[in-house]
Chain A
Amino acid sequence: MVSEIKSESNFNRRRVVVSGLGIASALGIDEESVWENLVAGKTGIGPLRSIDTSDYKVGIGAEVPERLIEDHLATLKRRPIDRALDLAMVAAHKALLQAEVISDEPPYHEQNVSVIFGTGEGCAQSHHTAFTAFFEKGPRGLRPTTVPRCMYNAVSAGLSLQFKLTGTNYMVVSACTSATNAIGTAFRMIRDGYAETVLCGGSDGFFDPFFFGVWNNIPALSKIEDPTQACRPFAIDRAGTVLGEGAGALVLESFEKATSRGIPIRGEILGYGESSDASHITSPSHIGQAKAMRMALDEAGVEPGEISHINTHGTATKSNDSIESLSIRIVFSDRTDEVPALANKSFFGHTLGASGALESVVTLLSLEKGMVPPNLNIENRDPDCNLNLVGAEPIAIKKAPAMKNSFGFGGGNGVLILGPATN
């Protein structure tokens, strides 16, 4: 029974703060323009340009403008290699610069900083290139560097190499929970004294004919053709999710290190919970989700009544939104009617393994500004999604701990409790 779920963890360890944020999204690659678009209610979803979708059921998605990425990579003297890596590179560069872990100009000197990133699909473009070469030319058609281009840790390895980060580097691969699991893992590493500074986040870039085709053929994507209307989290007329590409990066470090460096603190990671449904490969479970939420709250030492807002997983699929709403009500009880809840996927699209990072960045920005962006397309609320959903306008919130949920295919659940910067 859910009422019997208790966290077995015992916490009271080092404080973990956020000293750098980076984002590469369909709403832009700098946090100011991303925030402006969010509060203005401008979606990043549009007709897909990078692939010909004439044979596909769906023709829309949230793409990051190609030119933005190419221009930013050029400042690092890099050319585009693979979308997931390129997006991660941009977001990570911005986060590391902001945290003053690196200076503006390469070459960079070696630093004992770890890289823990999440991804759902990995280097999808490189895989597609390899499949195509193999089927067209046979084994001799495969580029000798196919392995390092396609390996799932290509993103974390690429970041480590580029910025000379000599702590550990690895990827967390858990579908749509990947980035949240990566941030949670990084949080634990610092909290427990295994690391002082970790670059963490998530990245996914899968708008290539094969990987988009894979998603196109499962009944989870919205068939609504109008990009501004297609993604409708928690609305009764929701028709599925809309895919997006992007990356989010956070620099986490111990509170002691951040204060000794005198670096501005952007927020704090207060708690993390994770669980596995062990019930179905794609259908979510309220039991597993509620368990992860309770675990995160327990670790943070925060009561549901103290939560300022919930940045939901909110995919706009029939199944996710109703189950997530139930899970929240189990944990928050009557407080569910008061705590504002929002979903960012109607802006960024569902960026799969990156979503937890992008949405954590938004959550931290919300806590800094004392305001949350609106929900799009929420005119017809689903009574089964009985949450206190933010409407079409941004609203003020108190600068107090917030919950960020991520749930994934495979049954993985990850929940972060994020706090505003405090002394």
Chain B
Amino acid sequence: MNENQKEESILAKLKDILQESCPEVEDWSSFGPSTTIESLGLDSLTILDLLYDIEQETGVHVEANEVVTFQSIGDINKLLLVKGG
């Protein structure tokens, strides 16, 4: 799997996880790296849950303090790629 394919795969997993935890978001057609965390309505608690779900799905452990400055899905995607997700 090349880098692009890996990125697409992680993005798809993130979308699956987030669709489950963000029922108030109705339109997922534009979901991608530029989607902001704010637009998904994620607060600090839901981000903790998101990290848990990512670990269960990908095996990659991410500490909460690694994502506190993240603004977008792309930021999370890059970290997971670096950590071997």
Contact = CB atoms under 8 A, between A and B. Distances in A.
B45 A148 contact: yes
Contacts, number: 19
A74 interface: yes
A79 B64 CA distance: 25
A145 B49 contact: yes
B23 A79 contact: yes
A262 interface: no
Interface string B43-60: 001001101100000000
Nearest to A79: B23
Contact of B49 (A74, A78, A144): A144
A228 B52 CA distance: 44
B54 to A, nearest CB: 12
Interface string A75-101: 001110000000000000000000000
A57 interface: no
A145 B23 contact: no
B24 interface: yes
A74 B48 contact: no
A145 B48 CA distance: 7
Interface string A49-74: 00000000000000000000000001
A78 B23 CA distance: 6
B40 to A, nearest CB: 13
Contacts of A79: 20-21, 23
A164 to B, nearest CB: 15
B24 A77 contact: yes
A148 B46 CA distance: 11
Nearest to A74: B23
Interface string B27-51: 0000000000000000001001101
- Interface majority SS on B: helix, strand, loop or mixed? helix
A369 interface: no
A33 B21 CA distance: 32
Contacts of A145: 45, 48-49, 52
Nearest to A142: B52
A144 B64 CA distance: 10
B48 A144 contact: yes
A120 to B, nearest CB: 26
A388 B23 CA distance: 51
A79 B49 CA distance: 15
A6 interface: no
A144 B23 CA distance: 20
A74 B26 CA distance: 11
Nearest to B61: A140
A79 B17 CA distance: 13
A55 B72 CA distance: 48
Contacts of B52: 143-145
Nearest to A77: B24
Contacts of B45: 145, 148
A144 B51 contact: yes
A143 B49 contact: yes
A145 B23 CA distance: 18
A40 B66 CA distance: 60
B7 to A, nearest CB: 26
By Cβ-Cβ distance, the 9 closest A-B pairs, closest first, are A144-B48, A77-B24, A79-B23, A143-B52, A145-B49, A144-B52, A77-B23, A145-B45, A145-B48
19 contacts: A74-B23, A77-B23, A77-B24, A78-B23, A79-B20, A79-B21, A79-B23, A143-B49, A143-B52, A144-B48, A144-B49, A144-B51, A144-B52, A144-B64, A145-B45, A145-B48, A145-B49, A145-B52, A148-B45
Given A79-B21, A143-B49, A144-B52, 16 more contacts: A74-B23, A77-B23, A77-B24, A78-B23, A79-B20, A79-B23, A143-B52, A144-B48, A144-B49, A144-B51, A144-B64, A145-B45, A145-B48, A145-B49, A145-B52, A148-B45
